[in-house]
Structure 1
Amino acid sequence: MIIAMLQVSPTILAALTEPTVSTLRDLIVEYGFSLSEPLTALTALQEVLDNFELDADPPIGRLGLDDERVLKKKLSQPQVSSRVLELIDQGEGPRVEFKSSIFISTKKKQFNPGISIEECVDDSLKEKVAKEIAAFLNAEGGTILFGVTDDGDLRGCEDDFSTFSSGGSPGDKADLILKQIVSQHFREPDNIFYHLKIDCVDIDGKHIVMLSVASRKQLAFLKSSKPSQLYLRVSSHALPIPYEKIEQYYNLSKL
């Protein structure tokens, strides 16, 4: 069993760098545990996850062997900081997006001296965040850094946090804010939560939020009355897919 725990399967290896989708059955097979003794296999699998400091979301013990779940690496603050700086150095791209804030209009604040932060809250930015999340879910996954400008400068999310009434640490506020956005804008929000990993880190006195999004096997739709509820990450943009092309997209990209 110790040998098995030290082995790194392809799925576990992928999960060490970014949230990765799998099923318990697939993991059991990868490690050669016996499916005829499921309780023993699941106990051994939990030991593997613990050994590599991975969480399964939803955790072992919930749902079934064939249900999709996401493996997430537990990161220390120095590890989160290192990852954030690495992504900033790489710049925006098909799997990385920078946002100056979560829902604060930085332009409105800049050009209206003396205005309160509460007056700078922009609900359209919350919807835009939801679209970006959906686009990553429907493609290959990716990462959104909040509190980072398009040029890679650290701005921080302090203004976002200051408008949020609930207490707790900056990490707690980041978690609650993003989960509220998901609940408000997504169909099946509980399932969407499984595919998200939220980390918050203080870099040079600025709180940066790193939202890691795992690719979803099923299409992720937004709650919307607009012509399209489906978004896809194309290059560095979240683009809408018209209803008439949804079936074509599903057939081509999900085979």
Structure 2
Amino acid sequence: MRKYILGSIILGLGIIILFYSILKNKNIQYPETIFTTEANSFKSDFAKFLKTTKSNVINLQTVFSDTNKIKDPKFSEEYFLNFIKKNPYLISVAYIQGKHKAAIKREDKTYVIAIDSNRNTEIVHWKRLNKGKIISEWEESFSESINNTIWYNSLINHPNEIQWFFDISKDITSDYKTDNELFYAGYYYKSNKNANIILLRFSRLSLLRHFSTYSKYEKVNLLIETTDNKRLDLGTGITEIFKEIANDKTIKDSTTIIKLQHFNKFNELDSGIFSFSNKGEVYWNSFMRFDALTGIKYYLLSIPQKDIQVKINSKASSKYIYIISILLIISGGGVFFIKREVFYNRKRYKFQSVVEILSSEDENRYLEFKSSLRWDYRQEKVNPDLEQVIIKTICAFGNTDGGILLIGVDDDKNILGLENDFKTLKKPNADFFEIHLRNILHTLMGVRYVSKNIRMNFEEAERGKIVCSIKVFAADEAIFLKTKNKNGQLIEKFYVRSGNSSQEIKTISEINEYINSRFNN
């Protein structure tokens, strides 16, 4: 059965890759065609973001046009919780209507929310919610009212317009501060003689990760200009911080200067794609202009052609994919004709019952008993040196003819179990016992050898007592045990089985002689 499953998987994979390479070869790729696809994708993503922001502002206006709703703590809390959950771009939302205010923000897996109707704007009562339950509450007092802040005055001077801020300082709270990873959308309007403020806070990283173009290229650059003439460079790639450009004279990057010079030639177009060269490198650019209601004049997206060329080259390698697919199909078909025994050897991996072993055999060249992995029954405490004894035995079995090690059985064949060992682990069970032992084996003997030659089984042998049975297969090459000497220096030792014990071969000449006779014949 195993060979048919493996053969089918390889054959199916080859066929899938073959069809994929054939379909890909039908489409010839050029820099401008690839960039056009990316530009359209980004255009859709960015327009969706602005549309969502605009819709959120309208939704808040509509819902709270009834002034009684902001005064209802239960309604407001439920509304803002649902509001922020539906908007993955958002980190926080603040809404002020006259003397009433509400705010909510994400923090890890919790939400911090404030619904105040009777307090002044210099004091906020916060409470933290985790899975709908309040886990803490506190008051926060501000040094000055938001009415005196620069961003607030900017909003009231431009009513009914979305404005974008990238430099809100600590004039609201320590949480609303200048941060190269944060930016804000604000909106001011009047209704029923009340002044209303909406403030949405975003994470640059969260936003860019929603733009698929940023995940495909390393050197994507994005420039944005707002309707109040703020120009922002969101950085080249997701990891670079953004910065605000005060004016053209403050731009130090020659590529950005030339890019803006070329962009200014297209003032009559609402959107478009263009390329330009600078210092021997070609850059592809896409732009789109927006109406004033969004608060954004335009964006300018740029990707170096050498980044796009990498994608073209990867497509050119499809001929190698075609060859690989043919080889997979041939290999998959060939698997069906391989003998079954190659895939499965039941006798090799079958474990004999612990009780059967103890009733018929004593310790010998192929069998050894150990009371525990790390619990010292004499000292009644954990003894790490015992782990070295276990590893030494396993190493000796591998270097000789293989064998079986039973942990949880003493020299007199009494079943002690592994309960004391289990109690010394993070979780007292067989799974963690095996993980712990395998980690030691991987470190001292190597992952490749352990994975290939060591099998473990846990058996409830007597009155609930669990014994670990380790089957060690004879190694194909010599295994040296890594350990430390008395001075703490890392050394390697070579162990073999001699009768019913594990012995170290110490001299280099004897080790070489043994390896030549055991492994090189």
TM range (shorter): 0.5 to 0.7
In 2, the alpha carbon distance for the partners of 1:91 and 1:127 equals: 23
The superposition leaves residues 81-110 of structure 1 with CA deviations (integer Å, 9 ceiling, x where unpaired) of x5211211211111000011111101112x
2:333 paired residue among 14, 26, 40: 40
Output the TM-score relative to the length of structure 2: 0.33
Q: Contact (CA 8 Å) 1:135, 1:238: kept in 2 or not?
A: yes
In 2, the alpha carbon distance for the partners of 1:48 and 1:131 equals: 32
Which amino acid letter does the alignment assign opposite residue 174 of structure 1? F
Which residue does 1:190 correspond to in 2? 448
Which residue does 1:57 correspond to in 2? none
User: Where do 1:31-110 residues align within 5 Å?
Assistant: 38-43=331-336, 54=346, 73=349, 83-89=353-359, 90-109=361-380
In 2, the alpha carbon distance for the partners of 1:151 and 1:248 equals: 35
In 2, the alpha carbon distance for the partners of 1:193 and 1:108 equals: 33
The superposition leaves residues 211-239 of structure 1 with CA deviations (integer Å, 9 ceiling, x where unpaired) of 00000010111112447511001111111
Call closer, same or farther: CA 1:93–1:41 in 2, change over 3 Å.
farther
Q: Is the deviation greater in 189-198 or in 211-220?
A: 189-198
DSSP-derived class of the 2:364 partner = coil
Call closer, same or farther: CA 1:225–1:165 in 2, change over 3 Å.
closer
The superposition leaves residues 18-54 of structure 1 with CA deviations (integer Å, 9 ceiling, x where unpaired) of xxxxxxxxxxxxxxxxxxx64334356596577x675
Call closer, same or farther: CA 1:85–1:45 in 2, change over 3 Å.
farther
In 2, the alpha carbon distance for the partners of 1:176 and 1:91 equals: 28
Higher relative contact order (CA 8 A, sep 6+): 1
Q: Is the deviation greater in 84-93 or in 149-158?
A: 84-93
In 2, the alpha carbon distance for the partners of 1:211 and 1:91 equals: 16
Which residue does 1:202 correspond to in 2? 460
Which residue does 2:66 correspond to in 1? none
Q: Per-residue deviation at 1:184?
A: 3.4
1:239 equivalent to 2:503? Answer yes
Which residue does 1:28 correspond to in 2? none
Q: Per-residue deviation at 1:205?
A: 0.9
Q: Per-residue deviation at 1:175?
A: 1.6
Q: Contact (CA 8 Å) 2:391, 2:441: kept in 1 or not?
A: yes
Q: Per-residue deviation at 1:242?
A: 1.5
In 2, the alpha carbon distance for the partners of 1:210 and 1:45 equals: 32
Q: Per-residue deviation at 1:72?
A: 5.1
Q: Per-residue deviation at 1:193?
A: 2.7
Which amino acid letter does the alignment assign opposite residue 518 of structure 2? S
In 1, the alpha carbon distance for the partners of 2:339 and 2:458 equals: 26
Call closer, same or farther: CA 1:201–1:248 in 2, change over 3 Å.
same
Q: Contact (CA 8 Å) 2:480, 2:493: kept in 1 or not?
A: yes
1:221 equivalent to 2:480? Answer yes
Which amino acid letter does the alignment assign opposite residue 128 of structure 1? V
Structure 2: gaps (5+ residues): 5-329, 486-490
Give 1 or 2 for the bigger CA radius of gyration: 2
Call closer, same or farther: CA 1:175–1:40 in 2, change over 3 Å.
farther
User: Where do 1:3-18 residues align within 5 Å?
Assistant: none
Q: Per-residue deviation at 1:152?
A: 0.8
Call closer, same or farther: CA 1:160–1:240 in 2, change over 3 Å.
same
Q: Contact (CA 8 Å) 2:480, 2:492: kept in 1 or not?
A: no
DSSP-derived class of the 1:149 partner = coil
Query: What RMSD in Å do the two structures reach over aligned CA positions?
Result: 2.8
In 1, the alpha carbon distance for the partners of 2:448 and 2:366 equals: 23
DSSP-derived class of the 1:93 partner = coil
Q: Contact (CA 8 Å) 1:135, 1:233: kept in 2 or not?
A: yes
Structure 1: gaps (5+ residues): 6-36, 55-70, 110-119
Q: Contact (CA 8 Å) 1:228, 1:242: kept in 2 or not?
A: no
Q: Contact (CA 8 Å) 1:102, 1:125: kept in 2 or not?
A: yes
Q: Per-residue deviation at 1:181?
A: 2.1
Quote the sequence identity (%). Answer: 23
Q: Contact (CA 8 Å) 1:134, 1:231: kept in 2 or not?
A: yes
Which residue does 1:173 correspond to in 2? 432
In 2, the alpha carbon distance for the partners of 1:72 and 1:173 equals: 25
Q: Contact (CA 8 Å) 2:399, 2:479: kept in 1 or not?
A: yes
Q: Is the deviation greater in 131-140 or in 221-230?
A: 221-230
Which amino acid letter does the alignment assign opposite residue 99 of structure 1? K
Call closer, same or farther: CA 1:86–1:40 in 2, change over 3 Å.
farther
Call closer, same or farther: CA 1:48–1:240 in 2, change over 3 Å.
closer
Call closer, same or farther: CA 1:162–1:225 in 2, change over 3 Å.
closer
1:149 equivalent to 2:410? Answer yes
